[in-house]
Amino acid sequence: MPPAPRYRRVLLKLSGEGLMGDREYGLDPGMVGMVAQEIKTVHEMGVQVCLVIGGGNIFRGVSAAASGMDRASGDYMGMLATVINSLAMQSALERQGLQTRVQSAIPMTTVCEPYIRRRAVRHMEKGRVVIFAAGTGNPFFTTDTAAALRAAEMSVDAMLKGTQVDGVYSADPRKDKAAKRYDTLTYMDVLSRDLQVMDASAISLARENRIPIIVFDIHKPGAFAQTMAGQGTFTVIKDEG
């Protein structure tokens, strides 16, 4: 009998880079499949799950803008990259037997649904996993901000950020062996210490809507389910008290 989850409905934010595995570009099918298995385990605990996936494994608008491309055009291209990742994750989840819907902030009805808040909520109530693609649909906003926005709109109990380390550190633990890991932080701690968990807009939006942010290692087998049960290693970002 799996442990009871602490949360009824959650949004999982994944970076595009987290789906690359050992590749330098694109998607690693094995990594996508592993993440899909983690999501299935949590879904079977009775948790309603929705996702936002970045597109940095395919295209980064900010990097393109630094090379001279128009920033808005680069961001739209990045949004299309998130749709590619979302469709790949949908396929992997459906191979696990989960019913899944992709909703895009940029309408493209040939391949997925347009984003409609009430429909997304209904999908989750029916036990479907919903993947929100194309960010907010606007340039100059990151997928972190899109995740915080969708988390607020879906009235989730928590927003989880699946990373490549087991929480928030004072520095990159892969480069600095003296980096300190935090068990808990406040939103203001993250902003004032510039901890680079998510961009400031996303942190502020989560703070305004009192949505706790939980940072954990998505690549550790079983970590997502353990985090849902309040077990394992992770960092919780929330208001004091």
**Residue 135 gets which letter from DSSP?**
T
| Pure H helices in the chain | 29-43, 61-66, 71-95, 117-125, 143-153, 187-192, 200-208, 223-228
Residue whose pair of structure tokens reads 């406040």 in the numeric block: 186
The answer to whether 186 is a known ligand-binding residue is no
Q: What average pLDDT values come out for the chain (241 residues) when binned by 10 residues?
A: 85 96 93 98 97 95 85 95 98 98 97 98 98 97 97 98 95 90 96 93 97 97 96 94 56
- The pLDDT assigned to 6 comes to 95
The answer to whether 227 is a known ligand-binding residue is no
The answer to whether 109 is a known ligand-binding residue is no
- The pLDDT assigned to 1 comes to 54
- The pLDDT assigned to 224 comes to 97
Does the predicted model carry a pTM greater than 0.85?
yes
The answer to whether 16 is a known ligand-binding residue is yes
Distance CA 18, CA 36 (A): 13
> Which residue segments constitute the domains of the chain, with CATH numbers given?
10-237 (3.40.1160.10)
- The pLDDT assigned to 97 comes to 98
Of 88, 23, 16, 104, the closest CA to residue 58 belongs to 16
Residue whose pair of structure tokens reads 């009998």 in the numeric block: 1
User: Strand order in 129-133's β-sheet?
Assistant: 113-114, 100-104, 129-133, 48-53, 9-14, 158-163, 213-217, 235-237, 184-185
Q: Is 7 helix (H, G, I), strand (E, B) or coil?
A: coil
The answer to whether 56 is a known ligand-binding residue is yes
The answer to whether 55 is a known ligand-binding residue is yes
| β partners of residue 182 | 168
Q: Is 82 helix (H, G, I), strand (E, B) or coil?
A: helix
Distance CA 212, CA 52 (A): 16
- The pLDDT assigned to 154 comes to 98
Q: Is 136 helix (H, G, I), strand (E, B) or coil?
A: coil
Residue count of the chain, please give it: 241
